[in-house]
Structure 1
Amino acid sequence: MINLLILFLVMNQYHQKTSGWRSVGLQYHESLCQFIWEVLFKNKGVQPLLDGVLNYLPCPTEVENHALDQDKSEEKVLLSGSPNGPLVALAFKLEEGRFGQLTYLRIYEGVIKRGEFMFNINTGKRIKVPRLVRMHANEMEDIQEAHAGQIVAVFGVDCASGDTFTDGSVRYTMTSMNVPEPVMSLAVSPISKDSGAQFSKALNRFQKEDPTFRVGLDPESGQTIISGMGELHLDIYVERIRREYKVDAQTGRPRVNFREAITQRANFDYLHKKQTGGQGQYGRVCGYIEPFPADSPGKFEFENLMIGQAIPSNFIPAIEKGFKEACNSGSLIGHPIENIRIVLTDGASHAVDSSELAFKLASIYALRQCYAAAKPVILEPVMKVELKFPTEFQGTVTGDVNKRKGIIVGNDQDGDDTVILAHVPLNNMFGYSTSLRSMTQGKGEFSMEYLEHSPVSQDVQMQLVNTYKASKGAAD
């Protein structure tokens, strides 16, 4: 079996017969590697490149594309690639133009027509196509419609990169809507107040381009916080703010996004009672909290198992809202609580003093009351790290991974290089690129991606809790 087919397209030879190569290219398209020698500045080799695309790459109808059916738990669906099918198009690139946001769409199935409506499956919004263009470098050609297999651009469509558009008859997406939560945060701000508008513009654009990039405000300091999937991920966006928007931005120390979770069941019975000169506050909630079963993990669930009308039904949403709000900040280190199921079994109300606010406060204090009894733990993001370096440095690199409390799960050889797969806590990976270069004389490289949140060791948990208490004491 051919694992790798190297096709050399040399200038003045690209006119050779292509039918045989095309059929091979279709069969081995995942391992076909084309080399084309070109010099764009001198306009040399551009024509062979374009002819190579036409002659050797498969056309859209010759490749199987799958969408994810959101009505069937993201079950894979084979797309026909026919213009007669329901519209399925992916927004894969955003560009700020003179006339606003320019959105590039790749049409996988169906037809897009100017003036007609399409649906953004990711946001649920119905959008009209005001202008449809075909791009030729930096030139635009207005068109009335575009068919499956084409790449076009539309103006005036508010969307994010990765959003899927349909005609409304199906709820397909080309990418998963389950976006992972950020694992690291960073405080960032412009040095000059005059750069505030450009700074905000950059952050708004980046959020649309990348669903894993988040922007928020620290409620205590008022600082702008950007969150993402790692140190390098955030560094790239900070550099883009400086380079593309000419904003001199300053950053704080990176912060790992820990989580808190309970490990056992605990009961709560809390009465919130406050008497004032006028209407008071009264609300009592009873029930228990418990972790999700190990075989079916979750983040948050609220269930009302109360029998009777001890609490009027119109107050139940306020109780759930209070518990959700309480889960935004655990008492160990102030990070969100997950893996928690809250069950309401009983309670009490007052004909005059009960209100939504009273029951919301009762549920917030109820969680705080029973939280310690549920034996909470701190969860830290663990990264899947792949390292590649010359074998002569294997002992040094392996020892460093162990020092960072990493677990090596794979070891392989690639010629003169060693490839190691490891699971390492993100909190121990700060500045690793510099360390790896130092250990391998600049010959090592690595990549990492989020794997999971897992409990920290007892000594690390104690250290994190003490640091949090010290910071709270200083703030107070």
Structure 2
Amino acid sequence: DPFVGRLVYLRVYSGIMKAGSQVWNSTTGKRERIGRLLLMHANRREEVEEADTGSIVTTLGLKNTFTGDTLCDTSQPVRLESIRFPEPVVSISIEPKSRADQDKMTGALQKLTEEDPTFKVTYNEETGQTIISGMGELHLEVIVNRMISEFGVGAKVGKPRVAYKETISAPVQVEGRFVRQSGGHGQYGHVLLELEPMNRGGGFQFINSLKGGVIPRQYIPPVEMGIKEAMETGVLAGYPVVDIKATIYDGSYHDVDSSEIA
């Protein structure tokens, strides 16, 4: 709101919320202070001192509370199930028309992502483009129009691009070996993986079936992180890879050259 700042809409599920009270955000694990409480009536607002069960109000002063978070009394912590939002299906590139628009665009995109959990912003390092993603062409058109009218940002947009995903269709066993020697300590990493397709929507699953300590335990989490990073860009068309199970079943290490980075 251009006059009072950031407004957070909330519903009271139990008890009474009072203006100026301290609350606990059980989703983020942070304390918050409730500022003014406002009842919204179309084109006017009414300030109230408290809101009882069932009320839908807005409040000011919350800095670390976003859509889907749970606020509760510090003495009776409770966390409600978060809202599950669908993944974006259409993406477009966007860039500022001038240097003056660059900072304004960054701030506008940050505020818009806070308001709308189905709106995503990413940066493509290979092309140097800012990519915005949403639930359809109309959704992104509204976002761009808001940037222009509300935030005064001059922007150029690219053509819509469908947010495809990649996956595998059959089990496969692969070997990854990384050996580098450049004086002093080198780098050595060696793993054998089995990749299997999962049902649609199955996500990612990592299984450690190593036996006999062929790879030290501290190197297993970095292996999983490496797989997840590789899944961000598929080999077919560069889209994210989804719905696979990765099992590490063998490998080797070097006493001196092996590290988490390798």
TM-score scaled to structure 2, two decimals? 0.89
1:382-422 Cα distance to aligned partner (Å, 9 max, x none): xxxxxxxxxxxxxxxxxxxxxxxxxxxxxxxxxxxxxxxxx
Q: Does 1:171 align with 2:72?
A: no
Aligned-partner Cα distance in 1 for 2:244–2:181: 32
- State percent identity of aligned pairs: 43
Q: Does 1:132 align with 2:37?
A: yes
1:118-156 Cα distance to aligned partner (Å, 9 max, x none): 34455444322243344565455352x321132332211
In structure 2, the residue corresponding to 1:101 is in which secondary structure?
coil
More helix by share: 1
Q: Does 1:341 align with 2:245?
A: yes
Correspondence for 1:153: 58
Instruction: Work out which of the residue numbers 213, 235, 238 in structure 1 matches 2:141.
Output: 235
2:51/2:57 contact within 8 Å kept: yes
Aligned-partner Cα distance in 2 for 1:160–1:195: 27
1:188, distance to aligned residue in structure 2 (A): 1.2
After TM superposition, list the pairs within 5 Å mapping 1:425-464 onto structure 2.
none
After TM superposition, list the pairs within 5 Å mapping 1:35-184 onto structure 2.
96-135=1-40, 137-141=43-47, 143=49, 145-158=50-63, 159-167=65-73, 169-173=77-81, 176-184=82-90
Correspondence for 2:119: 213
1:214/1:226 contact within 8 Å kept: yes
In structure 2, the residue corresponding to 1:356 is in which secondary structure?
coil
Change (3 A) 1:267 1:139: closer
Aligned-partner Cα distance in 2 for 1:284–1:201: 43
Q: Does 1:311 align with 2:219?
A: no
Aligned-partner Cα distance in 2 for 1:209–1:102: 10
1:246, distance to aligned residue in structure 2 (A): 2.6
Correspondence for 2:261: 357
In structure 2, the residue corresponding to 1:127 is in which secondary structure?
strand
1:113, distance to aligned residue in structure 2 (A): 2.3
2:96/2:153 contact within 8 Å kept: yes
Change (3 A) 1:152 1:300: same
2:91/2:133 contact within 8 Å kept: yes
Instruction: Work out which of the residue numbers 190, 198, 202 in structure 1 matches 2:104.
Output: 198
Correspondence for 1:283: 189
Higher relative contact order (Cα pairs below 8 Å, separated by 6+ residues): 2
Q: Which amino acid aligns with 1:239?
A: N
In structure 2, the residue corresponding to 1:344 is in which secondary structure?
strand
1:324, distance to aligned residue in structure 2 (A): 0.7
Larger radius of gyration: 1
Q: Which amino acid aligns with 1:279?
A: H
Aligned-partner Cα distance in 2 for 1:270–1:203: 39
1:166, distance to aligned residue in structure 2 (A): 3.2
Q: Which amino acid aligns with 1:310?
A: V
1:122/1:177 contact within 8 Å kept: no
In structure 2, the residue corresponding to 1:198 is in which secondary structure?
helix
1:38-68 Cα distance to aligned partner (Å, 9 max, x none): xxxxxxxxxxxxxxxxxxxxxxxxxxxxxxx
1:109/1:148 contact within 8 Å kept: yes
2:38/2:45 contact within 8 Å kept: no
In structure 2, the residue corresponding to 1:178 is in which secondary structure?
coil
- Give the length in aligned residue pairs: 258
TM-score scaled to structure 1, two decimals? 0.51
CA-atom RMSD in angstroms: 2.2
Correspondence for 1:364: none
Q: Does 1:224 align with 2:130?
A: yes
1:97, distance to aligned residue in structure 2 (A): 4.0
After TM superposition, list the pairs within 5 Å mapping 1:285-304 onto structure 2.
285-292=191-198, 294=199, 297-304=201-208
Aligned-partner Cα distance in 2 for 1:300–1:250: 36
